[in-house]
Structure 1
Amino acid sequence: MERTGRPAPLLEQQSLLGGVDLVRPGPRPGTTVHVDPRWQIGFAKALALVVEHGRKAREASDLPRWSLCPRCQRVGDTLREFGVRTLRGRRVAQSWCRTCRGVHGPHRLPAQASWLEQEPN
């Protein structure tokens, strides 16, 4: 018996590990056909290109390994001793080291315990 109608629609399900699965939509699960990554079609190929260009762009804008603090002239690891912040959606290294930022911050009131230890004048 031959089928005389339109072919059933197929959905692409991309695997991030490579390849594409073609699945028939419907109330019950259909047979899945796996397509080798060498023969990527449609959205999967476009996604792979976007990921590849994103990797190249990230490598070009990576943070420097070492930074120099303009206040105390300390040279240190950017992530550990300086930190990063997000500025207009990009990760940027802090210019001052963590020590200088902590000292320069707003003056904090001493804790209540230190008030109790001081002698009244």
Structure 2
Amino acid sequence: MTEQGQGPEQLEVHAYTLEAVGGAAPAALAVEDAATMAPMLPLRIVLRGSGFRIGALDPVIRVGDVVVRRFEISSDQRTIVGYVDEVPPEGAEISVEYPSRGRAVLPEPFTISKLGGAPPVA
């Protein structure tokens, strides 16, 4: 939320985490092994940043060409929790875009290794 007289908070994406919703992530993840990944789908992705507005127009959230679906924006507008139904490619760009406000890109590319229990990026 912004103070009176100031413009809207800047749209930014700072960090993300991943969780396997369909089942536990295997100890060693082989990115190219679709059969190994399928039981873990969907994947929950949690984006942290600022300026995630709740309003009439929803943002378009993508990991590469994979659209994040069934998402919710927190009441403080700093977290988005959503789901992907396929595994995005390694190194894919993570972005949040509002048609009237522009696009924010996470500096860190997507990696499935985040499922291995690595600590979240701050």
TM-score of the aligned structures, taking structure 1 as reference length: 0.24
RCO comparison, higher one (Cα < 8 Å, 6+): 2
Task: Indicate the structure with greater strand content.
Answer: 2
Which has the larger helix fraction? 1
